[in-house]
């Protein structure tokens, strides 16, 4: 039967894509990627600044997900804390694979490779970046996949599981239809997208160990990152 989005679903996609495009890391932050020198210390500081900026962008985007602000306040915090790393891996993958302007991508990749992350985490991280790049997601799919990641009901400390599940299911229904419309020759495309969410969980576990090893080498994070990642 013919797959098409309802009026409500089209409005939902528009709201999410507008929010996704409106919230980008400011140019002055990304511009720094090209300027400063290349020591592991300098790279860590730059990435810390970008991560902090990315969290601020993420909070603004999340507030614009239809229905999010109607959730229980404490659940909103639990969802943000529980999904921040995954949303940032997704965002960094989307940014790195879409080839940022004037060589940012190579520089950014280089700085991540030389920021004190051990090889055992570097390989899965860049495999993930490659697998996201191969999907050639359109912005609707990127924005919806990020919303679905944020609206994961089984994060720690979420009380009203059902309310989050209802919101996530609404997003999943729209994404499934969009995938059929956008990739008619690839019936498995939607399943492939969801497979990336599983990979994100693994990366999130690796990230906890990355944080520990940075902290053991006496690296400092910003107050916002300490709060969202429960460190220090
Ligand atoms: C604290 C810091 C060292 C850190 O800890 N874990 C990670 C970390 C790492 Cl090392 C990888 C993935 C996720 C995290 Cl949290 C990081 C570095 O975090 C980031 C955060 C965002 C990143 C990057 C790289 C790219 N982006 C996204 C990006 C870049 C430029 C523009 C825009 C935009 O939205 O316009 C977005 C790194």
| Each residue's pLDDT tens digit, 108-162 | 888 899 998 999 999 999 999 999 999 999 999 999 999 999 999 999 999 999 9
**Spatial contact of 58 and 80, defined as CB atoms under 8 Å apart:** yes
pLDDT value at residue 4: 94
- ipTM of predicted assembly, 2 dp: 0.95
* Nearest in space to 144 (alpha carbons), one of 3, 25, 9, 22: 9
As a whole number of angstroms, the distance between CA 40 and CA 37 comes to 9
Q: Looking at the predicted structure, is the pLDDT value of residue 104 above 90? A: no
**Spatial contact of 117 and 210, defined as CB atoms under 8 Å apart:** yes
Q: Tell how far the Cα of 135 is from the centroid of ligand 1, in angstroms.
A: 20
Task: Specify the higher pLDDT residue, 14 or 98.
Answer: 14
Nearest ligand 1 atom to the CA of 108 is: 24
| Each residue's pLDDT tens digit, 30-60 | 788 777 778 899 999 999 999 999 999 999 9
As a whole number of angstroms, the distance between CA 223 and CA 215 comes to 14
pLDDT value at residue 177: 96
| Each residue's pLDDT tens digit, 160-205 | 999 999 999 999 999 999 999 999 999 999 999 999 999 999 999 9
Of all protein residues, the one whose alpha carbon is nearest to atom 7 of ligand 1 is 51
pLDDT value at residue 170: 97
pTM of the model: 0.94
Residues in contact with ligand 1 (CB, 6 Å cut-off): 24-25, 30, 44, 47-48, 50-51, 54, 57, 85, 88-89, 91-92, 95, 108, 112, 115, 221, 225
User: Which own/partner pairs from 127-130 qualify as long-range (CB within 8 Å, at least 24 positions apart)?
Assistant: 128/89, 128/93, 128/196, 128/199, 128/200, 128/203, 129/92, 129/93, 129/96, 129/97, 130/97
Task: Compute the chain's Rg from CA coordinates.
Answer: 18
Return the percentage of the chain with pLDDT > 90, whole number.
77
């Amino acid at each position: 039967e013919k797959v098409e989005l309802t009026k409500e679903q089209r409005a939902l996609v528009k709201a999410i894509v507008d929010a996704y495009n409106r919230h980008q890391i400011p140019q002055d932050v990304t511009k720094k990627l090209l300027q400063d020198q290349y020591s592991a210390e300098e790279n860590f500081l730059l990435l810390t600044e970008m991560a902090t900026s990315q969290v601020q962008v993420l909070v603004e985007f999340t507030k614009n997900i239809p229905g999010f602000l109607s959730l229980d306040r404490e659940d909103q915090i639990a969802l943000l804390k529980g999904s921040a790393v995954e949303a940032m891996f997704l965002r960094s993958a989307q940014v790195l694979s879409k080839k940022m302007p004037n060589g940012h991508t190579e520089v950014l990749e280089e700085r991540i490779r030389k920021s004190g992350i051990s090889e055992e985490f570097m390989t899965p991280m860049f495999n993930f970046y490659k697998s996201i790049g191969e999907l050639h997601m359109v912005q609707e799919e990127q924005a919806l996949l990020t919303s679905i990641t944020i609206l994961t009901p089984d994060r720690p400390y979420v009380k009203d599981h059902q309310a989050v599940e209802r919101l996530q299911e609404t997003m999943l229904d729209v994404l499934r239809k969009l995938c059929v419309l956008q990739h008619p020759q690839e019936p498995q495309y939607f399943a492939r997208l969801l497979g990336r969410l599983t990979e994100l969980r693994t990366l999130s576990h690796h990230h906890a160990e990355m944080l520990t090893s940075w902290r053991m080498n006496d690296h400092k994070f910003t107050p916002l990152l300490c709060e969202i990642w429960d460190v220090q």
